[in-house]
Structure 1
Amino acid sequence: MNDFVDEARSRVAHLLRMANTTDDRVRARIIEYADTTPEPPVMSRAGIVTTGCPQCHRTAWRQQDAEGPVWVCASCGHVEGVIVECPHCRIAMRPPPLGAPDRWQCPDCPRVAATGESAQDIEDRERQRLEALALLDHAIGLCAE
């Protein structure tokens, strides 16, 4: 079977094939599950990212629209913009451009982040960046002597 045929299969067919069972009760439960749960979105460069919906507390998927990344609830349809805040400046970071890697940038300082990173992760990355720059400055100074 080629990849195209496999891609054309339904979600139910994939789940049934993974289950590899002939038990009609199990197959019926799998079909019911597929019919009552949302389809995951198409995988993006950042993979599939989820969070809890603030309204119905079910699964919201991260999607990208023309204005940037948004959370879209698979159950109630609630849409909310994704916001990443710079822990140093306490302002919203600029979202990555459409199709670019998941790299948010602070408009006021050199800090960068990925969606879902903690403030500690962002500060650790900045500390490592500053340490690397100091080492490079030292190495350049040694070469100049």
Structure 2
Amino acid sequence: MGEICVKQFRENIPLAIIRPTMVTSSYREPFPGWIEGLSDGVIAAYGKGKVKCFLGSPMSILDLIPCDVVINVIMVAMAAHAKKSCSEIIYHIGSSSRNPIYISNIPNFSFHYFTQNPLTDKKGKLVKV
């Protein structure tokens, strides 16, 4: 609905619509892991011992895209379309075609990460995943 409204009232302003997949924490900037997205919260809950399993078809692909990559695409799109009086383009941003992450990988990735970087509970004891 937002895209329809923008298209109706934009007059002669260039329009670039950015459609990212699931936006997650940063890849590099301002530092790796900056901002916690929904998927990050679920993985952190696993590290705290609050989530015991990940539901979904094991071969389902999670298309995660880091927030700094999305921001870079927005800046490039703005620069590319700044001088075009009536342009309109839609960018779909994702990574699953080159870097698929299957739901079945998440428990393994999480387990390996949190065994090497364990979190602590409220009492200061290490959480065993």
- Answer whether TM exceeds 0.5 for this pair: no
Specify which structure has the bigger relative contact order, considering alpha-carbon pairs within 8 angstroms and separated by 6 or more residues: 2
Higher Rg: 1
